Structure 1
């Protein structure tokens, strides 16, 4: 396990430093080499994480394992989006995020209730929920970057760091709605499967998680409908994305933190 941790950490650190160096010196980032190295890190990260989640006593989705898995999904979706969008520079955020999440999963320990005799439907619900959370986390970060770019353009600042270092505003906005659509579809399927397979919301302590997830789903859905129907974009789209993700995070991570770390 130590070897997998070292390999993944090295890959993430090297890519982070390389992209950071390229951005500060205005050099062209070699996309193929960067993504190839990240794929090596992703494979090592997955090998490291697997035995922590799949245990002899059942599935272990404690807080730290979920953080590690979320960061793994985060990086994987970044690589996939990078294949058709000019966003390789955003690896300066994606790679360190994966490193931090993996490290938390590797060293962190939390009490957990093993998930045993789980149905295929519930497994699908859990994995789709994590994937949706991850994509929508990326959308929230993307929205923050979009806000920073819009602010620089609006105030006509001389030194436009975010405008100059990140992809164009049009590319960033298109990527935001790509992420929102993918995340919303994943979240919709996950919630639908959850309502079918979850037996007792009160007994499983997931009422608050369900309520916050539904509120978030409504906001994301409303934003996508407003974009399609009325052309919502820019600052409004960024703000709604951030607010919707905050609701999702309260229900998803906040509830796990309270149940596992405080109670």
Structure 2
């Protein structure tokens, strides 16, 4: 059993342990304790990162296949949640992020689609890292918008039920949503610019659709942020734009990679 499998298995167990602790606390209708987020979560992220490094950094170059990138996005999201939990009430989203992060580990380790590794350069590495962080933060924003929609519906029905009782007030949830979108949009902007600078032939056939869909996603988030600043957009308008922008981003990479690796076998 090699190092990547050992650390990946450790991360998988730690994520599940953290999820079990979180769900038990949610069932007791209490706010998850910070220790239940930080201790197993931090250990899981470290082990996950160590395993992912062994998978993605190869002698042939940088492995950018569907499952390694999905796993990299998941562990980045988990790391962002851990960091954010130090100063904002972000604990609840761990219950969504940790299971996804755990699920990506077996696929990352054992599903081989034959995707060809890319020669690793500093420019490409920076572009990939920025893109992954931007994807992860905007994915968290999408999760936030879904829960904000549930919270808004319950408020309109006159009462908050179940686990939503331990969530922050809707104004705080909305503020956190736009903080995530602002940060994600800034990083996505830098990632797009770095792609034009450092990725050869960005509009090549297998990258054209990714580039166009990513630019459309950027425009959607830019319109939302502009509408928030100029017209005070919030509520369902913000939720619709957030989910639409993230759906474009999701299809831009993961949808196209699914077609390339599993259907076209490229």
User: TM-score, normalised on structure 2?
Assistant: 0.93
The answer for the alignment partner of 2:143 in structure 1 is 141
The answer for the alignment partner of 1:81 in structure 2 is 84
CA deviation map 1:191-213 (0-9, x unaligned): 01111223323436111111100
CA deviation map 1:116-137 (0-9, x unaligned): 1x43122111111111111111
2:153 aligned with 1:151, yes or no? yes
Whole-angstrom CA distance in 1 between matches of 2:164 and 2:19: 20
2:161 aligned with 1:123, yes or no? no
Query: Contact 1:110–1:260 at 8 Å: present in 2 too?
Result: yes
Whole-angstrom CA distance in 1 between matches of 2:180 and 2:74: 16
Against the structure 1 CA distance between its residues 144 and 33, is the aligned structure 2 distance closer, same or farther, given a 3 Å change threshold? closer
Whole-angstrom CA distance in 2 between matches of 1:98 and 1:201: 29
CA deviation map 1:167-216 (0-9, x unaligned): 22122111111110110010000001111223323436111111100110
The answer for the alignment partner of 1:108 in structure 2 is 111
Deviates more, 1:87-96 or 1:174-183: 87-96
Query: Contact 2:21–2:36 at 8 Å: present in 1 too?
Result: no
Deviates more, 1:4-13 or 1:37-46: 4-13
What is the aligned-residue RMSD (CA, Å)? Answer: 1.6
TM-aligned CA deviation for residue 252 of structure 1:
1.3
Whole-angstrom CA distance in 2 between matches of 1:82 and 1:252: 28
CA deviation map 1:142-174 (0-9, x unaligned): 1111111111111225x6235314222122111
Moved over 4 A (4+): none
2:229 aligned with 1:234, yes or no? no
Consecutive unaligned residues of structure 1, counting only runs of 5 or more, are: none
Against the structure 1 CA distance between its residues 107 and 9, is the aligned structure 2 distance closer, same or farther, given a 3 Å change threshold? same
Query: Contact 2:130–2:191 at 8 Å: present in 1 too?
Result: yes
Query: Contact 1:67–1:102 at 8 Å: present in 2 too?
Result: no
The answer for the alignment partner of 2:192 in structure 1 is 191
Whole-angstrom CA distance in 2 between matches of 1:45 and 1:198: 27
- SS of 2:201's partner is coil
The answer for the alignment partner of 1:225 in structure 2 is 226
- SS of 2:204's partner is coil
The answer for the alignment partner of 1:58 in structure 2 is 61
The answer for the alignment partner of 2:40 in structure 1 is 37
CA deviation map 1:230-257 (0-9, x unaligned): 2111111011000011111111111111
The answer for the alignment partner of 2:93 in structure 1 is 90
User: TM-score, normalised on structure 1?
Assistant: 0.94
Whole-angstrom CA distance in 2 between matches of 1:107 and 1:217: 33
